[in-house]
């Protein structure tokens, strides 16, 4: 971690704190990966958003670029780790759409294939999460109905 922080400080000193530069963006990427591996997800997300902002400043907001797409994917990874699956889906879909433009005509590109697999995984997890939520909501409705109909608490409320 310390070496990555020193590297970022060095690139900021060389290129300036307000100058978008690929070396600064990559140093932010390195830091974000360390934070994510350490489980410091809020710090990882902060660095990932900073690197995305830097890549957008370098490449522009209108032109699709692999660096931007990968940054979106990196942000998705943190949301996925935080179990924020709707946010994860949003960033994966944006990343995949961008890479499909970047690699037009090459749907077999490894990044596209990897993103499709990651998106399928998140869709699957969301489906399961949605089923769990639906079951809990159904159980809560049934619990309320049972309380009203017999005036007491149901036998399995709260896992009893």
Q: If you average pLDDT over residues 130-152, what whole number do you get?
A: 75
Q: Which residue stretches of 60-109 are H helix?
A: 66-81, 85-102
For the chain, the average pLDDT equals: 87
pLDDT at 38: 94
What the chain holds in terms of domains, given with CATH numbers, is 2-159 (1.25.40.10)
How many C-alpha atoms does 146 have within 13 Å on its Cβ side?
A: 12
pLDDT at 149: 59
Please state the three-class secondary structure of 37-71 as a single string.
HCCCHHHHHHHHHHHHHHHHHHHCCCCCCHHHHHH
Task: Say what the pTM is.
Answer: 0.77
Q: If you average pLDDT over residues 97-120, what whole number do you get?
A: 92
CA dihedral angle for residue 44, residue 47, residue 49, residue 53, rounded to 10 degrees = -160
């Amino acid at each position: 971690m310390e070496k990555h922080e020193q590297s970022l400080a060095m690139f900021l000193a060389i290129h300036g704190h307000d100058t978008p530069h690929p070396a600064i963006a990559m140093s932010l990427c390195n830091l974000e990966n360390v934070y994510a591996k350490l489980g410091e997800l809020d710090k990882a997300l902060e660095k990932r958003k900073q690197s995305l902002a830097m890549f957008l400043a370098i490449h522009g907001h209108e032109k699709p670029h692999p660096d931007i797409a990968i940054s979106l994917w990196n942000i998705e990874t943190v949301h996925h780790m935080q179990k924020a699956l709707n946010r994860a889906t949003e960033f994966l879909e944006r990343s995949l759409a961008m890479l499909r433009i970047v690699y037009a005509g090459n749907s077999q590109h490894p990044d596209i294939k990897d993103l499709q697999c990651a998106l399928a995984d998140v869709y699957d997890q969301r489906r399961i999460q949605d089923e769990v939520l639906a079951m809990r909501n159904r159980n809560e409705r049934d619990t309320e109905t049972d309380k009203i109909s017999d005036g007491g608490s149901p036998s399995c409320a709260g896992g009893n």
